[in-house]
Amino acid sequence: MSEPKARKRLLGPADVSPEPALERVVDPTDTLEDEVFGASLRPRSFEDYVGQERVVENLRIAIDAAKRRDEPLEHVLFYGPPGLGKTTLAGLIARELDANFRPTSGPTLDKPKDLVGILTSLEHGDVFFVDEVHRLGRVVEEFLYPAMEDFQIDFIVDRGAYAKTLKLPLKRFTLVGATTRAGMLTAPLRERFGIVHHLDYYADAELERIIVRSAGVLGVPIDGDATTMIAARSRGTPRVANRLLRRVRDFAEVRANGRITAEVADDALRREGVDEVGLDRLDRAFLQTLVKQYGGGPAGIAAIAASLTEDAETLEDVVEPYLLKAGFITRTASGRRATAHAYHHLGLAGAPLAQERLL
């Protein structure tokens, strides 16, 4: 059955009004919905984990070596864009070590006593996972240094000439930190991680494998063309792929007797504002603003944010990374520039080919 022409068009200027970042279906940051469904969709072993082959292989070697020596694994740091599986890998490390998994996040550790309560309850070999580790407060972070390095906590009792330092021993544990902004980690904290891995975006073929597995877990039939289509719009991010799959599944159950075909997937995703390369309304609004208001650039992120009435940090963290990866914009010393690819995708003339050759 041929698809209506209106359904095949590129989403254009009428569709580019920005929506709040927290409501974006392609936002790679974790949500309550992801937490609810994530437990059932996450792989249970390294054999089930798709992608990041080099990282997984090196982790398995390190874990095997630690088990042979009968000692905890070295502290591990994962960094990279959100939604790529850092939390999942931390959980798999604990599972492979047959250890307890104690997750928390940097912003929740507000005071040293919050950290002390967790550290003193850890058993030998436990995996202590700190998400958003770059957001630890300075006092809490400094409290963590001796715990990571010497497996002890230093308490200062009294003040002045009567001050004394008491050392409380801890059981040896493994700290796994995750961050989307490695540049914000202090050097002393970064140096205390013995194993450091960068997680990169996934290829479409890897995302297809994830979607097929998740569809099987959810019990929803899906055609191969639909799998390919969802993967191509998932921005190289497993979390986005699973979220899009859930949205398409809902649409298929109500409008298409439960089966996900390519036509069903395309219709469902366009209703969510997601176009054929994974851009949503905020992404297109970003590009439209850069091209139309600033002549394709260069333009500073603060100026673009003001034009969109969005937070500059939100644009830097959840919008720009994919636009850069997909080649829609470039960063220069003088600001952001739109590429010929952006002009072509928006259906606009006047692509800055000459400018790009000069960059």
Query: Is 87 considered catalytic here?
Result: yes
Helices (H) and strands (E) in the chain, counts: 17, 9
Measured CA to CA, the distance from residue 8 to residue 229 in angstroms comes to: 13
Answer yes or no: are the C-beta atoms of 104 and 87 closer than 8 Å: no
Residue 165 makes CB contacts below 8 A (sequence gap 6+) with 154, 155, 156, 157
Measured CA to CA, the distance from residue 129 to residue 75 in angstroms comes to: 10
State the catalytic residue, choosing from 87, 227, 237, 289.
87
CA distance to 17, 92, 288, per residue, from 14 (Å): 7, 45, 11
State the catalytic residue, choosing from 88, 174, 179, 180.
180
Answer yes or no: are the C-beta atoms of 166 and 157 closer than 8 Å: yes
State the catalytic residue, choosing from 42, 86, 192, 249.
86
State the catalytic residue, choosing from 239, 243, 281, 337.
239
Measured CA to CA, the distance from residue 218 to residue 260 in angstroms comes to: 12
Classify residue 40 by its DSSP letter.
H
State the catalytic residue, choosing from 34, 126, 131, 317.
131
Query: Is 239 considered catalytic here?
Result: yes
Map tokens 């936002």 to a residue.
Answer: 27
Residue 334 makes CB contacts below 8 A (sequence gap 6+) with 298
Map tokens 């997680």 to a residue.
Answer: 199
Nearest to 280 by CA among 312, 246, 238, 328: 328
φ, ψ for residue 25 (rounded to 5)? -70, -20
Answer yes or no: are the C-beta atoms of 104 and 129 closer than 8 Å: yes
Answer yes or no: are the C-beta atoms of 340 and 281 closer than 8 Å: no
Q: Which residues are part of the catalytic machinery?
A: 86-87, 131, 180, 239
